[in-house]
Amino acid sequence: MSQLNTPIRRAGGEIDVYTALLFAATIVLLGGVVWIALANMQHSKSSENDAGGPFKLVETR
């Protein structure tokens, strides 16, 4: 049998269920990071003039 006549299986670009689950998990993770950053900015506000920020440390009292 010649190798020229054998079908070739090519790695396709189709999206399988694991790719979809990875995409969904990435979206949920990014949403959680944004939510925590926004909550930290709200919590780190100390006065009207201080806008806070995602990287500002919150002082314990």
Evaluate whether 41 touches 52 at the Cβ level (below 8 Å): yes
- Of the candidates 56, 32, 33, 36, which has an alpha carbon nearest to the alpha carbon of residue 44? 56
**Each residue's pLDDT tens digit, 1-58:** 566 777 777 766 777 899 999 999 999 999 999 998 888 777 777 656 566 666 666 6
Report residue 15 as tokens: 């999206």
Distance CA 40, CA 56 (A): 8
- What's the pLDDT score for residue 16? 87
Integer Cα distance of 57 and 52 in angstroms: 9
CB 35 within 8 A of CB 29: no
pLDDT value of position 47? 58
pLDDT at position 32 is 96
